[in-house]
A and B are shown apart, each in its own frame.
Chain A
Amino acid sequence: EPEVTQTPSHQVTQMGQEVILRCVPISNHLYFYWYRQILGQKVEFLVSFYNNEISEKSEIFDDQFSVERPDGSNFTLKIRSTKLEDSAMYFCATFLDEQFFGPGTRLTVL
């Protein structure tokens, strides 16, 4: 079965540092997404990406966040200056006929 992969599985960073979370989507999928889930809370949409540009974003996805697909395969989420409240699981998802989620990256901001 095809799968979405994410690296790293766990990232620990200091407040104010930049982090880049990486995702390798399923190869023939066209839509890409980032979601986050704060511990014990629901899954929250951050951004969707189609045809090499952002198609939708939530109010969570402010100027501190950016996404790109630098080499046509990886799909990255960058947080420029992390805050304590950015600590969460970050899930990448891709879509063709159904949405497949990756295993997530646990981001811990100290």
Chain B
Amino acid sequence: LAKTTQPISMDSYEGQEVNITCSHNNIATNDYITWYQQFPSQGPRFIIQGYKTKVTNEVASLFIPADRKSSTLSLPRVSLSDTAVYYCLVGVAGNMLTFGGGTRLMVKP
């Protein structure tokens, strides 16, 4: 299973764009990259998933370079309610098993 490395924590202010980068140097050819958000005492919530290049949905964008050894989750114009832990997972779709430590994002007013 590909291991992921993320910053432990990040601070931001309301209205700013936040970029969280995840390293996954030993990603396999079939692996997808998925990001989850987790609030205290709640289950992780799917944010976005991608394989290569750029994926965008209504809440975030995911940038994946050509070598796929890293990925960046971009949250546009964060609000206080985006304060959460963000996890990057790498694996075959349907078998995303290993959560790393995640990045604790604190959004300040």
Binding site for B on A (CB under 8 A): 4, 30-31, 33, 35, 42-45, 48, 55-56, 58, 89, 91, 93, 95, 98-104, 106
Cα–Cα distance between A43 and B37 once the two chains are bound (Å): 12
Known: A98-B49, A99-B34. A104 touches B99 (CB 8 A): no
By beta carbon, the residue of chain B nearest A96 is B94
A-B contact pairs, 15 of them (CB 8 A): A4-B43, A30-B94, A35-B99, A43-B99, A45-B98, A48-B95, A48-B97, A91-B44, A93-B43, A95-B94, A98-B46, A98-B49, A99-B46, A99-B96, A104-B42
Contact status A42-B34, CB under 8 Å:
no
Chain A residues within an 8 Å CB radius of B63: none
Chain B interface, >50% SS class? loop
